[in-house]
Structure 1
Amino acid sequence: MIQAYEYNQQNELIIPIEVFERDDEGNYIIPEQCTTIAPPNNPSFYKAAFDVKKQQWYESATQEYIASLKPAPLPPSDIELLKKQNALLSKQLTQLLAMQKVGASD
């Protein structure tokens, strides 16, 4: 048995498969749309595709596709919201005290 890697019509990796069948000379019969060349593990690909002419794997995912896989940022926590509100109130209080100080010196 040997390991082969099946790819679709766009040459994108579908699934690893095990090949057991042999021809009369003992050679493994690799199905069409398959290769025995393993996709690289490092760096890992988001969407591995096989270049049949070059006999190598490449990244077929677009940057847009890769970005879409990243989770959306979490909403701010209650503590983060309170920190921002506190900072805003402190700034407003400082500005108000500064205006009162200027008015008192006139």
Structure 2
Amino acid sequence: MHIFLYDGNFMYTGEDVIGEYDEMPKNATDVRPEGLYLAVYDEKKRTWSESASKEYIESLQPKPPLPNDITTLKKQAALLTLQVTQLQRGGAS
């Protein structure tokens, strides 16, 4: 059976596997903490909740990639082509 461990502050510390007849450690539960960044366990409710701040979670998100030179040049070429086409038709629309 998979168990999920927490420390003295009820913060998730990892998981382990115990046998079917082994006793559950005092600092463990069989409730899986899913989709949390800094999981904290509530023994009374038998639930995990998020303890991470919005700022902390946002700091872990990957930054959008910077456009490379080729992508930038393609966009500029497309814009210039559009502008030339509009000028040939008698002006911008």
| Cα distance in structure 2, aligned partners of 1:21 and 1:8 | 23
2:51 aligned with 1:60: yes
Q: Which residue of 1 is the match for residue 90 of structure 2?
A: none
Q: Aligned to 2:28, which of 26, 34, 38?
A: 34
- The runs of 5 or more residues in structure 2 that have no matched partner are 88-93
Q: What CA deviation, in whole Å up to 9, does each residue of 1:2-52 have, x standing for no partner?
A: 221111233222222122385xxxxx4111211122224xxx222222112
Q: Percent identity?
A: 33
Structure 1 alignment gaps of length 5 or more = 23-27, 95-106
Question: Over aligned residue pairs, what C-alpha RMSD do you find?
Answer: 2.9
TM-score, scaled to structure 2: 0.64
- Displaced runs of 4 or more, over 3 A: 83-88
| Equivalence map 1:43-82=2 (5 Å) | 44-82=35-73
Larger radius of gyration: 1
Alignment of 1:15-34 (within 5 A): 15-20=14-19, 22=21, 28-34=22-28
